[in-house]
């Protein structure tokens, strides 16, 4: 698989460790298998900067946001689905149609490990034209959609982030929802995360984009933020975040943002 796709195994390893805790925030019985040895090696390589707690918090926040939205939409699209297993582990309404977008090699590897999933895999390269392939798979622009883009935007350039968000908005009927995450611009030069960022870059998966104004960015691309939280805040803590939450008005602070937005 491509370098960026390999990071999906790293996040699967973090989900496996959380799932095996007595006080687990979620249970992903497939995570250890999907992570493989590579995932746990990468988890050690990328250790530090609160990465494992953040992945646990992000997973739980997004699980909750996804389930809130699932009853109000008709179709779900996982954008850059990676080794995510929500298709199998969350209690979806029976009438929902679920699509998983990602690179062909990753979807092939995932299909071999997870059989019986109800989703429709759509092999695409998000850096190229991908909307036609999604529509060919049965996606309907006239139905409200839940878009899930987890752990994706910081790997893209700003130009690609804006283009992707606009494409999602253009495909969205009224009532559509986006659940995603992004990082701040300051995170890309955080001295405490230097080894983590360097390792990602050396592995061919550098972080390329962050913004200190996620609400403004999303609004300019057709999305209205409904909920936005940083790890450690109420609704995005879950007993996993040991770091202080610095007020938003303080500039140049490394931050992670978890959000739900609507068209």
Q: What is the pLDDT of residues 108-136, one digit of tens each?
A: 888 887 877 889 999 999 988 999 999 99
User: Over 60: is that where the pLDDT of 2 sits?
Assistant: no
Between CA 30 and CA 217 the distance in angstroms is 35
Q: Are 251 and 215 in contact (CB under 8 A)?
A: no
Asked if residue 5 has pLDDT above 90, the reply is: no
- What is the pTM for the complete model shown? 0.96
Classify residue 89 by its DSSP letter. Answer: H
For the beta carbon of residue 251, count every other beta carbon within 10 angstroms: 9
Q: Is the pLDDT of residue 56 over 50?
A: yes
pLDDT at 165 over 80: yes
Query: Bridge partners of 79?
Result: 101
Give the full edge-to-edge strand order of the sheet including 224-229.
120-123, 97-102, 75-79, 145-149, 177-183, 256-262, 224-229
Domains, the chain, in order of start with CATH, read 3-237+251-262 (3.40.50.150)
Kindly tell me the sign of the dihedral angle through the C-alpha atoms of 100, 52, 61, 168.
negative
Mean pLDDT across the chain: 94
Per-residue pLDDT at 4: 56
Token code pair at residue 243? 């770091």
Question: Does position 49 have pLDDT exceeding 70, yes or no?
Answer: no
pLDDT at 1: 42
- Over residues 146-159, the pLDDT tens digits come to 999 999 999 999 99
DSSP state of 173: P
Question: pLDDT of 75-94, one tens digit each?
Answer: 999 999 999 999 999 999 99
User: What are the DSSP calls for 182-203, one per residue?
Assistant: EE-GGGGG-GGGHHHHHHHHHT
């Amino acid at each position: 698989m491509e370098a960026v796709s390999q990071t999906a195994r790293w996040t699967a390893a973090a989900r496996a460790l959380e799932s095996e805790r007595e006080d687990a925030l979620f249970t992903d019985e497939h995570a250890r298998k999907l992570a493989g040895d590579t995932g746990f090696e990468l988890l050690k390589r990328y250790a530090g900067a609160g990465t494992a707690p953040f992945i646990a918090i992000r997973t739980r926040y997004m699980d909750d946001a996804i389930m809130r939205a699932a009853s109000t939409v008709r179709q779900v699209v996982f954008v850059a689905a990676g080794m995510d297993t929500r298709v199998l582990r969350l209690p979806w309404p029976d009438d929902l149609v679920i699509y998983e977008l990602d690179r062909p090699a990753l979807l092939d590897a995932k299909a071999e490990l997870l059989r019986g999933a109800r989703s429709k895999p759509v092999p695409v390269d998000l850096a190229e034209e991908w909307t036609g392939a999604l529509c060919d798979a049965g996606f309907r622009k006239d139905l409200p959609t839940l878009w899930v883009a987890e752990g994706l935007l910081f790997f893209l350039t700003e130009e690609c982030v804006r283009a992707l968000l606009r494409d999602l908005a253009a495909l969205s009927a009224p009532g559509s929802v986006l659940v995603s995450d992004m990082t701040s611009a300051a995170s890309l030069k955080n001295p405490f995360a230097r080894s983590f960022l360097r390792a990602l870059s050396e592995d061919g998966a550098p972080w390329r984009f962050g913004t200190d104004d996620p609400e403004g960015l999303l609004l300019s691309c057709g999305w209205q933020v409904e909920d936005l939280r940083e790890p450690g805040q109420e609704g995005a803590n879950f007993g996993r975040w040991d770091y202080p939450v610095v007020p938003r008005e303080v500039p140049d602070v490394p931050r992670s943002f978890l959000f739900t937005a609507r068209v």
